[in-house]
Amino acid sequence: MSLEVIEISDQHRELLNRLSQLIPDLDPESPESLQRIFGLGLIALTMRVTKQARESDQADLVDELGRLARDMIQAEGWDGDSGLAGP
Q: Could you tell me if residue 38 is inside a domain?
A: yes
pLDDT mean for each 10 residues of the chain (87 residues) = 68 88 84 82 83 84 84 74 41
| 3 located within any domain | no
Whether residue 83 is contained in a domain is answered as yes
pLDDT at 4: 57
Q: Are 16 and 8 in contact (CB under 8 A)?
A: yes
Q: How many domains does the chain have?
A: 1
Question: Is this prediction's pTM over 0.85?
Answer: no
| Residue 37 belongs to domain spanning | 31-87
Tell me if 18 is assigned to some domain.
Answer: no
What is the per-residue pLDDT for 50? 82
Query: CA distances (Å), 78 to each of 29, 39, 57, 64, 84, in order?
Result: 22, 13, 29, 19, 6
